[in-house]
Chains A and B, each alone.
Chain A
Amino acid sequence: MKEIASRIGEWLLVGWILLVCGYYLAAAFVASPG
Chain B
Amino acid sequence: MNGPIQPVADLLFFLLVSLVSVGLGGQLLRWLRTEPAGLCEAVALGGALGLAVLAYTVWGVAALGFLYPAVGWGVLALAALVGGRRAARVVVGALARVHPGWRHVRVPEAFLWVCLLSVLAAGLVKSLAPPVANDWDALQYHLAFPKIYVAHHRLLQLPFSTHSYFPFTMEMLYTLGLLVRSVAAAKLFHFLTACLLAATMLAWGQRLGGRLVGLIAASVFLSTPVVFSELGSGYVDLGLSCYAVAALYALSRWQEGGKGRWHLVAGVFAGVCLGIKYTGAVTLAFVLFAGALHVVRSRRSLWTQWALLGIVAILVGGPWYLENQLQTGNPVYPFLYERFGGVRWDQTRADAYSAEQHTYGTGRGLVDLVKLPWNVTMWPWNHDPSRGLRYEVQPVSSSTPGPLYLALLLPFLFLRPKPGGVRLCAAAAAFHLLAWFALMHYLRYLLPCLAMTAVCLGWTVRELWLRTASAKLGFAAAAAVALFVPLGGWFALGLTGPAWQVVSGSVSADEYRTRYLDTYAAAQFANQFLPADAKLITYGEPRGLYLDRDYLWGEPDHSALLDYSKVKTRADLWRLFAGRGITHVLVNTTYFNLNDPGLLQTCIREGIDSGDLQVLYEDRRALVLSGPRAPD
Contact = CB atoms under 8 A, between A and B. Distances in A.
Interface of A: 9-11, 13-14, 16-18, 20-21, 23-25, 27-28, 30-32
B407 A16 contact: yes
Contact of A13 (B381, B402, B473): B473
Contacts of A11: 472
A10 B475 CA distance: 12
Contacts of B411: 13, 16-17
Nearest to A29: B381
Given A10-B472, A14-B473, A24 B410 contact: no
Interface residues of B, number: 24
A27 B476 contact: no
B414 A30 contact: no
A3 B414 CA distance: 16
B377 A20 contact: yes
A17 B407 contact: yes
Nearest to B373: A20
Nearest to B379: A27
A28 B410 CA distance: 22
Contacts of B472: 10-11, 14
Contacts of B473: 10, 13-14
Contacts of A30: 381
A9 B470 CA distance: 11
Contacts of A31: 380-381, 397
Interface of B: 377-378, 380-382, 397, 400, 402-404, 406-408, 410-411, 414, 470, 472-473, 476-477, 480, 483-484
B407 A27 contact: no
Nearest to A13: B411
B403 A24 contact: yes
A21 B381 contact: no
Contacts of A23: 378, 403
A34 to B, nearest CB: 12
Contacts of A13: 410-411, 414, 473, 476
A21 B480 contact: yes
27 contacts: A10-B470, A10-B473, A11-B472, A13-B410, A13-B411, A13-B473, A13-B476, A16-B407, A17-B407, A17-B408, A17-B410, A17-B411, A17-B476, A17-B477, A18-B476, A20-B377, A20-B406, A20-B407, A21-B404, A21-B407, A21-B484, A23-B378, A24-B377, A24-B378, A24-B402, A24-B403, A28-B381
A20 B402 CA distance: 10
B306 to A, nearest CB: 38
Nearest to A18: B476
Contacts of B400: 28
A33 B402 CA distance: 18
A31 B383 CA distance: 10
A31 B303 CA distance: 54
Given A14-B473, A18-B476, A27 B382 contact: yes
A8 B443 CA distance: 35
A27 B381 contact: yes
A28 B380 CA distance: 9
A27 B397 CA distance: 11
Contacts of A9: 414
B238 to A, nearest CB: 23
B225 to A, nearest CB: 10
Contacts of B410: 13, 16-17
Most buried by B among A20, A24, A32: A20
Most buried by B among A14, A21, A25, A27: A21
Contacts of B406: 20
Contacts of B470: 10
Given A10-B470, A13-B414, A14-B476, A20 B403 contact: yes
Given A10-B472, A16-B407, A30-B381, 12 more contacts: A13-B414, A13-B473, A14-B472, A14-B476, A17-B407, A17-B410, A17-B477, A20-B377, A20-B406, A21-B483, A31-B381, A32-B397
Nearest to A22: B403
A30 B400 CA distance: 15
A19 to B, nearest CB: 8
A17 B483 CA distance: 12
B484 A27 contact: no
B117 to A, nearest CB: 24
Contacts of A10: 470, 472-473
A24 B380 CA distance: 10
Contacts of B378: 23-24, 27
Contacts of A28: 381, 397, 400
A18 B402 CA distance: 14
A28 B402 CA distance: 10
